[in-house]
A = this chain, B = another copy of it.
Amino acid sequence: MKIYRVNMTEGKVSEEEVKEEYAALGGRGLTSQIIADEVDPNCNPIGEKNKLVIAPGLLSGTMAPSSGRLSVGTKSPLTEGIKESNAGGTAAQKLGKLQIKAIIIEGQPEEGQFYVLKVNKDGLALEDVSDDLMGQGNYEVMESIQGQLGEDVCVMSIGQAGEYKLQAASIAVSDPEGHPTRHCGRGGTGAVMGAKGIKAIVIDDDGAPGPYMDNRDEFIEAARDFTQSLLNHPVCGEGLPAYGTAVLINILNESGGLPTKNFRKGRFEGADKISGEEVADIIKERSGKNTHGCHPGCVMQCSQVYNDKDGDYLTAGFEYETIWGFGANAEVDDIDAIAQMDRICDDIGVDTIEMAVTIGVAMEAGVIEFGDPEGAIDLLKEIGKGTPLGRIIGNGAGFTGKAFGTDRVPVVKNQGIPAYDPRAVKGQGVTYATSTMGADHTAGYAVTSNILDIGGTVDPLSKEGQVDLSRDLQVATASVDSTGLCVFAAFAILDNDKALPQVVDMLNAQYGLELELGDVFDLGKSILKTERDFNKRAGFTNADDRLPKFFEEEAVPPHNVKFDITGEELDEVYGELD
């Protein structure tokens, strides 16, 4: 396996042996380690000294089920801390098959110079971007590149937002149909790719050697067993394939934890119009797909393809968090308008969660009214035009709050708080406050025990047990994010004692390792320590591990609960790790 280094100042690509200490790392474990080793924590994220590291998970490219997740690491323009942004799509598996452990992009070309980075079995090459791609959205970029190079290549690209280096800019990763519906969304990775002068990365695995594999037979056995574990789990094997993640709209609404009107309420009157069940009906009616994988080989298939009223493709990967944000949080109950917003964000290349929180803040500030889908669509379109208003919106919720002078801004470490009210799903609140990533629901998805009764049950309204729950999940997630497995695979791991050993067996078979169960947790802890140390060196303190004050002061209906976990208690999450 190899690591490639792309120096944009010199326009040169070089190949490196994998250092011994990186050998057993992949995905987030590897991106965070390289960022911590090579990037000055006090550099400007869109300056020459930042780096962008792209790494498939350890299992990506193999037949391990649902293992095609990609990690992109950098110093985040949005949080100014370390960032691993994780996406599906077809990139990770192709990189795994090419036996590329990581691509490190560093330096900076002349202002305004843009390139396409081509990756194939012969290595990497930089080419000048063709003029017609510049200023284009991701749909056009991917279509154009696939038109030239074939439908089977994977394209990672930035839309206009990345070209403008906006803090909410994402990197789009093409899905199995070649659409830009999968994104390294959070934290502004697209701004760093834009600052590096890369409009698109094209990954072609034609003639690839296939994934690194030490013991194929043992691997296949373990992979088969783990596939069964996923399929046997009621959420992984049934709930997600049937309704996708949007099934959570009704569940969260019922629990009183669906943030509504910029986090003023925990229930949305229009929830039934935007629910997963409703979406599934519409998709069926319009001949879309209710069961769709974000990458080949996924057995959970929680993605879907959403057609417009005429039955034409509109968007895919239409997730719960997106529907929540452009829906309940903005008091919009028009699901087609929400789907359009999802499409616009995918095209311009901005994080739908950050944009949803931002639209809520813009509504709060009176830029547009709550419940105004046309206003929201117009605001999102401004981003692509590069107008001053678009640059405000595209820089996220914290930025927009400052531009329009409102103090009700739900962010942690300047990153928008997603889809689960931290007062009514308190384990999520702990994760939002303390994650090294800023507010990030996937960093320690306590919805499991708080709401879904997966991995045990912890009362979501009580503070009891939430710190331990969040910490354990943050540790486990850091490990899972290193394997290339989807975070939802953790559902099976949490409920079935046999599942984690199956993952360990796969890793040992693939890499000739002798990992034990405990090593998985040690890896997770070690990743978190590395990330937290980076953030400390960047100037973060425990004061950054806090929710905005209004969560402590305002009770959220219907349960009328406040966030009552104290700063000292939050500090216990990392107290043991620091």
A residues at B contact (CB < 8 Å): 40-44, 46-49, 77, 164-167, 191, 194-195, 387-389, 391-392, 395, 399, 402-407, 409, 536-541, 543-544, 546, 548-549
Write the chain B residue with the least CB distance to A167. Answer: B402
Bound-complex Cα distance A541 to B536 (A): 9
Write the chain B residue with the least CB distance to A47. Answer: B407
Assess the B405–A191 pair: CB atoms within 8 A: yes
Min Cβ gap A430→B in Å is 17
Bound-complex Cα distance A77 to B407 (A): 11
Bound-complex Cα distance A388 to B392 (A): 7
Please give, as numbers and ranges, the residues of chain B lying within 8 Å of A389 by CB-CB distance.
Answer: 388
Please give, as numbers and ranges, the residues of chain B lying within 8 Å of A391 by CB-CB distance.
Answer: 388, 392, 403-404
Assess the B548–A44 pair: CB atoms within 8 A: yes
Min Cβ gap A507→B in Å is 37
Known: A537-B543, A539-B541, A540-B539. A164 touches B405 (CB 8 A): yes
Taking the full assembly, how many copies of this chain does it contain?
A: 2
Write the chain B residue with the least CB distance to A546. Answer: B42
Assess the A539–B549 pair: CB atoms within 8 A: no
**Complex A-B: 24 CB contacts under 8 Å:** A40-B549, A41-B543, A42-B546, A42-B549, A43-B549, A46-B407, A47-B549, A48-B407, A164-B404, A164-B405, A167-B402, A195-B407, A388-B388, A388-B389, A388-B391, A388-B392, A391-B392, A391-B403, A392-B403, A399-B403, A538-B543, A539-B540, A539-B541, A541-B541
Write the chain B residue with the least CB distance to A194. Answer: B405
Min Cβ gap A565→B in Å is 15
Assess the A388–B403 pair: CB atoms within 8 A: yes
The 4 A-B pairs with the shortest beta carbon distances in the complex, nearest first, are A165-B405, A539-B543, A388-B389, A47-B407
Assess the B195–A543 pair: CB atoms within 8 A: no
Please give, as numbers and ranges, the residues of chain B lying within 8 Å of A194 by CB-CB distance.
Answer: 405
Bound-complex Cα distance A540 to B541 (A): 8
Write the chain B residue with the least CB distance to A108. Answer: B407
Bound-complex Cα distance A404 to B195 (A): 12
Bound-complex Cα distance A537 to B48 (A): 32
Known: A537-B543, A544-B539. A405 touches B549 (CB 8 A): no
Min Cβ gap A61→B in Å is 34
Please give, as numbers and ranges, the residues of chain B lying within 8 Å of A405 by CB-CB distance.
Answer: 46, 164-166, 191, 194-195
Write the chain B residue with the least CB distance to A366. Answer: B111
Query: 16 other contacts beyond A47-B407, A167-B402, A539-B541, with CB at 8 A cut-off?
Result: A44-B548, A44-B549, A46-B405, A47-B549, A164-B404, A166-B405, A194-B405, A195-B405, A195-B407, A392-B403, A395-B402, A399-B402, A536-B541, A539-B540, A539-B544, A541-B541
Bound-complex Cα distance A46 to B536 (A): 27
Write the chain B residue with the least CB distance to A40. Answer: B549
Please give, as numbers and ranges, the residues of chain B lying within 8 Å of A538 by CB-CB distance.
Answer: 543
Bound-complex Cα distance A46 to B365 (A): 13
Please give, as numbers and ranges, the residues of chain B lying within 8 Å of A539 by CB-CB distance.
Answer: 539-541, 543-544
Write the chain B residue with the least CB distance to A50. Answer: B407
Min Cβ gap A492→B in Å is 39
Max count, chain B CB within 10 A of own CB: residue among A391, A399, A537: A391
Please give, as numbers and ranges, the residues of chain B lying within 8 Å of A77 by CB-CB distance.
Answer: 402
Min Cβ gap A112→B in Å is 9
